Chain A
Amino acid sequence: MFSERLGVKLTAAAGATALVTIGVFALFNIRSHRDSLEAEVARHADQLSEAVKAGTEFDMLLNQRERLQGSIVRMGRAPGIGRVRVLNKAGRVIYSSEPAEVGTTVDRASEACARCHSGGPPVPTLDASQRVRVFRAAGGGRTLGIINPIYNQPSCWTASCHAHAQGVGVLGVLDVTLPLAEVDQSIRRARLEVAVFAAGATLALSLLIGLLARRWVAAPTQALLAGTRRVAGGDLSTSLEARGSDELAQLTRSFNDMTRKLAEARLQLFQSDKMASLGRLAAGVAHEINNPLTGVLTYASFLLKRSEGDAERADDLKVIVRETLRCREIVKSLLDFARQSVPRKVPVDVNEVLERAVAVTANPLVLAKARLVCEPGSGLPRAVVDANQLQQVFINLLVNAADSLGPDGGSVTVRTALRRLPAKGSAHVRAAVCPKRHSLLDREALVDGRPSVKLAARWRGGAGTVHLDPGFGSAAPLRGLGGTEELSLACPDCAADLLVKGKSCPRCGGPVYTFEAPPKGMLEGCPAPGCRWQSWEALEGEGEREFIEASVADTGSGISPENLPRLFEPFFSTKGQKGNGLGLAVIWGIVDNHGGTIRVDSAVGRGSTFTVLLPVRP
C-alpha cells in the first residue's frame, strides 16, 4: 500500500536516478584519480631508475661489483622504494637490493620480462609507459615496477674489464619497483568520500523531491482523491481549494466546476421529480377536499341568504363563507404551486395583508412565547400582488420565526418599507425572444432558480450553447463561452444573428449581443468575460423602481451556514417531523412569480432575518 503511493514512487524514482548518476560519475572520477596517481608514481619510478642508472654507470664501467651491489642495497632501503635490481640478458639477477636474490634466474614469463620477451624475438626498445607494470607483490600489496634497459655503449666494450662484446644491443635491464600502498590508500579514501557524498546527495535529493512531490503532487492528488470519493459517496457540495495555476490546480478547478454542474443537474432532476409527485399529490388532495368544501360552502351560503335580519348569525356565517373561500384559494395555490402558475395580481395594501397574516399566526406565536414587534411602514403604495399568496408568504415566515425560538421564547420583528432601487441588480429577464420570436429561455439551465437565456455561440476553434444569467446587470458573463474572437451568437432555433452589426461595447469595445425581453423592449450586452456591460433601455428609462420591502426577523436559533444554500429547496427541512420542507419552497415560488426576491441573513444563536422585495408594479 505504502509503495503504491504516488509521492513515494516519485521519490524512489528520483533517488534511484540520483544514485545511478552519482555512482557512474564517482566510478569515472575514482578511475581517473587512480590513473593520474599511478602515472605520477610511474614518472617518479622512471626518474628514479634513470637516476639509479646514472649513479651506477661509473661503477659499472669500472666494473666495481662490490660497490655496485652496496649502492643498490642502500638505494633499496630508501623510503618509498620497493626493490632495485639489475638483470643480465639471460635473466640472471646480477645486483639486487635484496642480496638473497643475487644469482637467481628470473623466468622470462615473469611480470618483469614478459613485456619484451612475450613470444618472438625480444623487443629492443620500449616506451616509458610500456616499461611500466603494476603487479601484486608476494607480500600482497600492489606494486609498480619499471624496467630500464641498459644498452651497450662504446664505453662498455672499450672498458678495461672487457665484460661486454661490441655486437650486443641490450646488455641487461635495471628493474625498479615501488609499492603502491600510498596510492591505494589515497584511492580507498577517495572512494569512501565519494560513497559518503553519493549517499548524502541521494538522500538530500530524495528528501527534496519527496517534499516537493508531496507539496505539488501528492497533497493535491490526495485532496482530489478524497474529494472524488466524497462526490462518489453523494456529497455534491464538495469544493476543493485550488492553489496556483499548474495542471493539478486546473484539474481541481475543473473538478469543482464539474461537481457544481453535477449538483445543479441533480438538483434539477430531483426538483422536477419532487414537483411531479407533488403535482400528483396536490391534484388528488384538491379533488378530495373540494367536494366536502362544496358542501360547506353552498350550505353556508344558503344559511347566510336565509339569515337576513339576524345580523349576529349572518356575521358568523360570513366568517364560515370567507374562510371556506380561503380554503378554496389555498387548495388552488397548492395546485398552482405544483404547476408553477402565475398569481392573480391586484393592487393590494401590503400592510393589510401583513395584519391578516399576524392575526392568523397569533396562536403559534403565543405558544412559542414570542414577543411580536410590528413596524409597518407608512405611506406605502398599493402593490400589484396576489393577496392570498402574499399572506401565505407572511404566514410561513411568521410560523418559521416562531418555530426557531427556543423554550424561553424571544422576539419576532416584522417591518415593511418602501425602497427605490435601480433596475440594474434588481430586475430579471423573464421572457426573451429572437427576431423571429423563438423563445430563448432555457428552463433546463437555471441560474438561482430562474431560467437562463440560451444562445448558440461560435468562436474561433469552438462552438456550443451558452447560457446568460437572467439577472440584469448581475453576473453577466455567458456560461460556457470558449472565447470571443470571431464570435457569433444566434438563436438556437432559427440561427437568427443576435450580434448587433456596427455596434461595439462602450466599455471594452467588443461585440454587442441583443434580444427582445418582452414586454420591456430590447436588452443589449457585451459577451466578453470580465466586461459586464449591459443595457436595457426600457427599464433604465423608467429610472428607479419601487419595491415593498418586508422583513421578518427573529431572535431564534439561526441557520447554520451549510444549510443556508439549501433553504429554499422543496422538502428541505430542519424541523424533522414538524415540517414538510415545502414552506420556504412555496415562498420562493410565490415571490419569484411576483418578480421579487427573497434574502436571508442569519447568525447561529442570534437569529435570522428573511427579507422579501416585491416590485410595486409587476
Chain B
Amino acid sequence: MSPRGTVLVVDDEPVVRDAAARVCRGEGFAVDCADSAAQARALLARGRYALVLCDLMMPEEDGFSLLAFLASAGWPSPAAVMTGYSTVDAAVRALGEGAVDFVPKPFTVDELGAAVRRAAAAGALRAAAGPAFVPTPSRFQRLDGISWASLEPEGTALVGVCDLFVRSVGGLAAAALGIEGAELEQGRPCAELSGPDGVRHPLLAPLSGRVLAVNAAAAERPSLVEKDPYFAGWLYRIVPSELEAEAARLSGFGAQREWAQGRTL
C-alpha cells in the first residue's frame, strides 16, 4: 500500500477517471477506479480509502446516493466530489451531505492535486480528532469545514477560514485575498490560501455579497489566520446579498461538534 493511502475514483467517463487517477498517483496515492456508484459500493465494502473522489452526475445512480451510502455507513472513508455541472447549489449541497471538498470540472493537474491532498488530510483529521474545534458564539455559521461567516449587528458579515481547512492544508504560508468592492459568491472561490508546500488552495466563500473591507493584517501575516482563524484572523467584511436563502445552506458549529463525535466515536 502506498504511504499516503488509496483514492477511489468514481466517474462514468473513462477519460475523466484516467485523468483523475493519474493526478492522484502523481500526488503519491494508490488508486482504485469505479465506473458507477454500484461498483464503488462493492469496492468500499472491501476496505477503507483515504478518499473517495466521486462524480456527482452519473447515469444510473448519482454521487449524492454514494454520499448517502457513506453517511449511513458512518463515513468509513471521507469523500470529495467533482462535477461538470458546477453550479453552486450542487457544490453546497454536496458539502452539506458530508463531502469534505468540491472540485469543479474541468480541472488542471495542480487544482485536482491540491484538492485531493487537502481532502484526504481533512478526512484523516476528522476521523482522528474528535471535537477539536474552537468554541465559537452561536452567530457563527460554516460551509462544512471550509469557511465560516458571522453576522454582525449592523447587517454586515465577517467571513473567514475554518481551522479544519487550515490544518488540512498543513498551515498557512500565504493568503491571496480579493479586493474591496469585489463580489463573493457562495460556493465559489473567494481567496487563495497557500500551504507551506507552496500549493495554492481556493477557499470557497460561505456567503454571497460585496466586500466592504479586507483584513489587511490577515493578508500580511498568514500566521494570524492560522492561530486565530475565527476572530483576529477574519478575511473579509461583506454586505450579504442573498442572506436568507444562503444561510439555510450553512450549519452551526454545534452541529460540527456533534458531527465529529457522531461520526468518529
Contact = CB atoms under 8 A, between A and B. Distances in A.
Interface of A: 283, 286-299, 301-302, 305, 321, 324-325, 328, 332, 335, 339, 341-347, 384, 431, 437, 518-519, 617-618
Given A291-B84, A298-B106, A518-B239, A341 B185 contact: yes
Interface stretch (B41-49, B108-116, B161-169, B250-258): B108-116
A321 B107 CA distance: 10
B106 to A, nearest CB: 4
Scoring A305, A332, A344 by chain B CB atoms within 10 A of each residue's CB, the highest score goes to A344
B84 A289 contact: yes
A618 B209 CA distance: 13
B179 A347 contact: yes
A413 B182 CA distance: 31
Contacts of A328: 106
Contact of A342 (B22, B104, B107, B208): B208
B84 A294 contact: yes
Contact of A618 (B16, B18, B104, B181): B181
A334 to B, nearest CB: 11
Nearest to A431: B241
B107 A332 contact: no
B185 A342 contact: yes
Nearest to B112: A298
Given A294-B13, A295-B15, A301-B109, 10 more contacts: A287-B57, A292-B15, A298-B20, A298-B106, A299-B19, A301-B110, A302-B22, A344-B185, A384-B181, A519-B212
A292 B15 CA distance: 7
Shortest beta-carbon contacts, A-B, top 9: A290-B84, A295-B15, A298-B19, A293-B106, A294-B106, A342-B183, A301-B109, A297-B106, A290-B105
Contacts of A299: 19
Contacts of A292: 15
Interface of B: 13, 15-16, 18-20, 22-23, 57, 84-87, 104-110, 112, 155, 178-179, 181-183, 185, 188, 208, 210, 212, 239, 241
A618 to B, nearest CB: 5
A158 B133 CA distance: 163
Given A346-B179, A431-B241, A286 B108 contact: no
A283 B90 CA distance: 12
B154 to A, nearest CB: 10
Contact of A294 (B107, B181, B239): B107
A367 to B, nearest CB: 31
Nearest to B109: A301
Given A345-B183, A347-B179, A297 B16 contact: no
A343 B188 CA distance: 11
B109 A294 contact: no
A294 B241 contact: no
B151 to A, nearest CB: 11
B10 to A, nearest CB: 14
Contacts of B112: 298
A296 B86 CA distance: 18
Contacts of B183: 342-345, 618
Contacts of B179: 346-347, 384
Contact of A297 (B18, B85, B107, B155): B107
A325 B109 CA distance: 12
A347 B180 CA distance: 10
B105 A519 contact: no
Given A296-B106, A328-B106, A291 B210 contact: no
26 contacts: A283-B85, A286-B85, A286-B86, A288-B84, A290-B85, A290-B104, A290-B105, A291-B106, A293-B106, A294-B13, A294-B107, A295-B16, A298-B19, A298-B20, A298-B22, A299-B19, A301-B108, A301-B110, A335-B87, A342-B183, A342-B208, A345-B183, A346-B179, A347-B179, A431-B241, A519-B212
Contacts of A324: 106
A437 B19 contact: no
A404 B105 CA distance: 37
A302 B24 CA distance: 12
Contacts of B106: 290-291, 293-298, 324, 328
A305 B185 CA distance: 32
A379 to B, nearest CB: 21
Contacts, number: 99
Nearest to B239: A519
A295 B84 contact: no
A545 B57 CA distance: 46
Contacts of A325: 108
Nearest to A433: B155
A186 B106 CA distance: 112
Scoring B15, B18, B108, B178 by chain A CB atoms within 10 A of each residue's CB, the highest score goes to B108
Contacts of A343: 183
Nearest to A295: B15
Contacts of A341: 185
Contacts of B19: 294-295, 298-299
B16 A291 contact: yes
A321 B108 contact: yes
Contacts of A332: 86
Nearest to B189: A344
Contacts of B212: 519
B182 to A, nearest CB: 5
A437 B108 contact: no
Contacts of A344: 182-183, 185, 188
A287 B11 CA distance: 13
A295 B21 CA distance: 12
Given A342-B208, A345-B183, A384-B182, A298 B109 contact: yes
Given A287-B57, A292-B15, A294-B15, A519 B210 contact: yes
Nearest to B156: A519
B181 A345 contact: yes
Nearest to B84: A290
Given A301-B109, A328-B106, A294 B87 contact: no
A393 B18 CA distance: 36
Nearest to A325: B108
A359 B241 CA distance: 37
A339 B90 CA distance: 14
A437 B109 CA distance: 45
Contacts of A518: 155, 239
Contacts of B155: 437, 518
Scoring B85, B87, B112 by chain A CB atoms within 10 A of each residue's CB, the highest score goes to B87
A297 B185 contact: no
A519 B157 CA distance: 13
B110 A617 contact: no
A434 B86 CA distance: 35
Scoring A290, A297, A325, A617 by chain B CB atoms within 10 A of each residue's CB, the highest score goes to A290
